Amino acid sequence: MWLLAPISAIIIVSIVTAILKHPKVKGLIGERRVRKQLRTLPPEQFKVLNNLLIKGKKGTSQIDHIVISPQGIFVIETKNYSGWISGTENSDFWTRSFYPFKTKFRNPIKQNWGHICTLKENLTAYTDIPYHPIVVFVGKAKLLNLDVKTDVIYPHMLFDTIMRQKEVRKLTHKDMDEIFSTLREASIRDSQTKKDHVSRIKWNVKMKEMEERVLICPKCGGQLVKRTGRYGEFYGCSNFPQCKHTVMLNKRYSVRRS
C-alpha cells in the first residue's frame, strides 16, 4: 500500500505536464500573460480587445489582441514556443530549433498582415488609421537570427513597445469608442464558425508545408529542380549525379521527409 502514494503522485504529475504541453493550453497561458501586460496600460488612453474572430473578404481571422489608441491600432499576435527562433520579415515560414530537432511554423508577421487586412475591411470608415503590428513570444523561446523590421518581442517588453509609439494623434476618444464597438459587434461567437476557421488554417498550413517539403531532397537536403525526361516532367536533385533522387511531377505531394 505504501507504494500507491508515490505512484499516484507520479501519474498526477505526468497528466498535469501533458495537459500543460497541449497546444491549446499553451496558447491560453500565453494569451493570459499578454493580457496581464495589457491591463497595465492606462485605461483612459487605450481600449483593449482580446481573442476576436472577425470575418473578412477571404475568410475569418483569429486576432489574439487589439489595442486601440489615439496613435492608431496595435495588432498583437502571440506565440508560445520554446527553442531558438529564426526567420525573416517576408519568408513564408520561420524555424524553431530545439537540439537536435528543427521544425517550421508560419511566419507570424505575415499572419498579422492578414489580420490587419481583415480589420481594414471592417473599419472602412477609418481609412487613415495607422496599424502597428507586434508579435509576442511567450514561453521559453529565444529570438535569434531574426531579420525583421516589425516588433518581435518578449512579454515584458510589450508595455514599453506600445507606450513609446509617439506618432501624431489620429483618433479622438469618440473615434476609439466607435471602433471598439464596431469590432466587438463584428466578433463571431458561433462555435461552429470557430471550428471551421481552425480547420481551414490547419489545411492551408499543411498544403504550404507539403509544397515546400517537396522542393527539398529528402536524401541529401539539396534543391529539387524541375526537369524533363522520357517519361515526362519530374523533379530531380540539384546535386545530381552524386544524388539521384527524383520525384515524378504528378506525384509531388507523395514525397515525405526521410
Q: Between the CA of residue 8 and those of 4, 16, 191, what are the distances in Å?
A: 6, 12, 36
CB neighbour list of residue 136: distance below 8 Å, 6 or more residues apart: 30, 34, 76, 77, 78, 79, 153, 154, 155, 158
Beta pairing class for 151-153 and 224-229? unpaired
Average pLDDT, the chain: 80
Burial of 81 (0-12, 13-18, 19+ CB in 10 A): buried
Q: What's residue 239's pLDDT?
A: 83
DSSP state of 129: -
Can you name the residues that pair with 131 across neighbouring β-strands?
Answer: 73
pLDDT tens-digit series, residues 24-68: 544 456 678 899 999 999 999 999 999 999 988 888 889 999 999
Burial of 128 (0-12, 13-18, 19+ CB in 10 A): exposed
Q: What's residue 124's pLDDT?
A: 93
Output the pTM of the full model: 0.67
Q: Where are the domains of the chain?
A: 4-210, 215-254
In this prediction, residues 134-160 reach a mean pLDDT of: 94
Residue 72 half-sphere exposure, CB side, CA atoms within 13 Å?
21
Residue 248, all three cell numbers: 515524378
In this prediction, residues 183-196 reach a mean pLDDT of: 71
In this prediction, residues 88-96 reach a mean pLDDT of: 91
